[in-house]
Amino acid sequence: MRSGDFKETYADLIVLSDSRLVWAWAGVLVVALVVAPFVVNAYVLSLLTLVLITVTGALGLNLLTGLTGLISLGHAGFLLLGAYGYAIVVAKHNLHPLLGFLAAGVAPALFAIVVGLPSLRLRGLYLAITTLAFSYIISDLILEAKSITDGARGITVQRPEFFGLDFSSDPSFALLCAFVAAVALFACLNIQRSRIGRAFMAIRDNDIAARTMGVNLQAFKLYAFMTSAFITGIAGALMGIYLSFVSVEGFPFLFSIEALAILIVGGLGSALGAVLGTVFIVLLPEAIRILFSWFGGALESLLSTGVHEVKSIAYGVAIILFLRFEPRGLVGVWRDAKRLWTHWPLKY
């Protein structure tokens, strides 16, 4: 029986997991994700798809805000750029979908340089406002560049097909989203345990100290912006495909706020937190609906027209509760539960 964590080498410290049980459970999760799209109904499948797309986007934001400590209110802009990057390449120019995904990542990453440069001098609220302004600029640019983006008309996007794989059905598209989310998760976990990830965390904890330790602030902040934007852009492409129609209206500013809520509720700076936060925030309205349905038809019918009002309140309450009682978020609760399981009946 395992009774604690004893690390003897640096390699042990940075390994993704030294527990076979964790890998076994990860395997079970992968199998469940592969099987689920074919057994659940279309509505649950659409929720699952949305969770997977949102996980990818939240992981992107987590790299920037959670890991590097740079607050962004402009991630809806990166999502939008990703969606348009894909739509323009695939739907307008009939190029290969993989090129579309590449464009969906590269376009926001390049724009991230523009918004990332001010971040070298700004921080906190000032940076948040700069990124907010950036998302508005992106919307305007897309609306004005009519010859490239079709302006306010939007672009209709079909489900992709490549390497003989057809993603036109809902289950197969969910699998594609699961694959992308898994790759994004592994990429983020690997960045986190690499030299780059440690530099990000050093900048977050104290950028002056990080500089004295030889961390190139400019380079790493820009790198954080670009990597974050790349991953978020891929999520944007998936969202565009999911919506089947890419327009500025389809990517409201609210997405940026929801992404931040996900990180706070899940636990800032943790990839697992981003996943848990996404599941919590995306499924919260469903949980509320089920809860109300237990109280009879009258409440349920009241909720059917007010679910998002309740959701908004629930968002706020959840964030306040987590900040007040568990600032480490869901991932903190998860770690406590793990510790309790490992050490019980001892406290430590």
Among the listed residues 27, 306, 316, 327, the single contact to other proteins using CB under 8 A: 306
Kindly state the smallest distance separating residue 250's Cβ from other proteins, in Å: 4
259 binds other proteins (CB under 8 A): no
293 binds other proteins (CB under 8 A): no
β-pairing, 245-246 vs 161-162, is: unpaired
299 binds other proteins (CB under 8 A): no
If the CB atoms of residues 173 and 223 are measured against other proteins, the closer one turns out to be 173
If the CB atoms of residues 28 and 254 are measured against other proteins, the closer one turns out to be 254
Among the listed residues 14, 151, 198, 284, the single contact to other proteins using CB under 8 A: 151
Kindly state the smallest distance separating residue 348's Cβ from other proteins, in Å: 44
118 binds other proteins (CB under 8 A): no
Distance between CA atoms of 165 and 97, rounded to whole angstroms? Answer: 11
Long-range contacts: 174-177, Cβ < 8 Å, 24+?
A: 174/36, 174/37, 174/45, 174/48, 174/49, 174/52, 175/33, 175/34, 175/37, 176/238, 177/49, 177/52, 177/53, 177/56, 177/238, 177/242
42 binds other proteins (CB under 8 A): yes
Among the listed residues 5, 18, 140, 205, the single contact to other proteins using CB under 8 A: 140
Task: Name which of residues 215 to 234 contact other proteins (CB under 8 A).
Answer: none
Among the listed residues 187, 245, 257, 333, the single contact to other proteins using CB under 8 A: 245
If the CB atoms of residues 63 and 282 are measured against other proteins, the closer one turns out to be 282
Token code pair at residue 91? 């739907």
β-pairing, 165-166 vs 161-162, is: antiparallel
Among the listed residues 85, 97, 105, 154, the single contact to other proteins using CB under 8 A: 154
Distance between CA atoms of 251 and 76, rounded to whole angstroms? Answer: 6
Distance between CA atoms of 113 and 227, rounded to whole angstroms? Answer: 10
Distance between CA atoms of 266 and 278, rounded to whole angstroms? Answer: 7
Nearest CA among 205, 322, 303 for reference residue 261: 322
244 binds other proteins (CB under 8 A): yes
Instruction: Give the interface segment with other proteins, choosing from 113-121, 139-147, 191-199, 317-325 (CB under 8 A).
Output: 139-147
For residue 287, count CB atoms less than 10 angstroms from its CB and return exposed for 0-12, middle for 13-18, buried for 19 or more.
exposed
Exposure string of 50-65, with b = 16+ CB inside 10 Å and e = fewer, is bbbbbbbbbbbbbbbb
12 binds other proteins (CB under 8 A): no
Reported as type and span, the H/E element at residue 162 is: strand 161-162
304 binds other proteins (CB under 8 A): yes
DSSP codes joined into one string, 13-68:
HH-S---HHHHHHHHHHHHHHHHHHHHS-HHHHHHHHHHHHHHHHHHHHIIIIIIS
Kindly state the smallest distance separating residue 249's Cβ from other proteins, in Å: 5
Token code pair at residue 238? 């998936």
252 binds other proteins (CB under 8 A): yes
46 binds other proteins (CB under 8 A): yes
If the CB atoms of residues 136 and 179 are measured against other proteins, the closer one turns out to be 136
Among the listed residues 112, 175, 231, 248, the single contact to other proteins using CB under 8 A: 248
Residues of this chain that interact with other proteins (CB under 8 A) are: 41-43, 46-47, 50, 136, 139-140, 143, 151-154, 156, 239, 242-245, 247-250, 252, 254, 304-309, 312
